[in-house]
Structure 1
Amino acid sequence: MTTRGSARGLGRGRSARDVVVLGHSLGGVNAYQLAACHPHLVSALVIEDIGAVVDDDLSFCLSWPHRAPTRSALVAELGDAVRYLTDAIREYADGWGLAFRPQDMVASHGQINGDHWDDWPASSCPALLVHGAHSDVLDAGHAHAMTSRGADVRLVTLPTGHTVHDTDPAGFAASVREFLMHLEV
């Protein structure tokens, strides 16, 4: 979550309405649902690569190891998934593991599977939808449908997969910066 102005600024004439909420994937659904349920709290949304309909099965994560003797052993066991998990790898007293329990991630993600069109965009705040052109989570047709359903939704597509912020940090930052600069202050 980020704000236009510092958190301290809220006490000097700023309000909770000055909050811009940014979310990626599961966090993106959480962000637009927050705006739908509490529109008075959110002035704008930045949603990264998630749709209004979610139908994913993350049960493959349950095969990830709890611990490995070395970081490189853990990375090898995670395989291709490691590209999403590098920031979540930690050393523990009993070896190397993830900063979260895969069972919790699977359960949490299972709770968002379904149709969320009623929540997207239920608030009138401006929204930026950042889409990875090669995403396996959000396809171009769904991204365009989301854009057409909102009064003030902008779509930016970058040549990445699902983790736009990680794959193209400069393009992601430039897109978000431009969106924030055009918000009414």
Structure 2
Amino acid sequence: MSAGYILVLYYSRHGATAEMARQIARGVEQGGLEARLRTVPPVSTECEAVAPTIPSEGAPYASLDDLKGCAGLALGSPTRFGNMAAPLKYFLDGTLGLWLTGELVGKPAGVFTSTSSLHGGQETTLLSMLLPLLHHGMLVTGLPYSESALLDTQGGGTPYGASHHAGADGKRALDPHETALCRALGLRLARTAHRLEDRAHG
């Protein structure tokens, strides 16, 4: 029986987090599952500013059904003062219905982030994204130190999730270690989802 798909849900302003999402999706597919890439629309303090219902490029906007039906979740955001970006927080704040029905309980989840500075809040941003997932009862996968890139990286990479140092202009490409850790996170999510599915039907 198929474990379904891993939802790779992210917000990206300048493209770095979106590229991480694509690398995580490759890891998911390497693990034998579909990766469903989804983003969220921007939010604004201007009440009249409304995002189009379909983004002009990139992944489609996520729906609650995407989240409800997933076998696992990879959640990504650039850092905003050591926290997740407002558009992603806004989307998560709208998941009360899924929390009430326990739709995400027991599903594996991992997080990823991109920052402009090397010490710009990568770990606190990752932890901020884990909080609502723990409230939903999801199982945090993280990245173990058995991943050699975690020991060798000179850029991003943490045990809390994949990360990337994008540089002050946001244009620094993922280095080989950051790429390897993104793919490792996706692969870990897929393998964990498979194991949970096997146990449920074993």
TM-score normalised over the length of structure 1: 0.41
TM-score normalised over the length of structure 2: 0.38
Flag the structure with higher helix content. Answer: 1
Tell me which structure has the larger Cα radius of gyration.
1
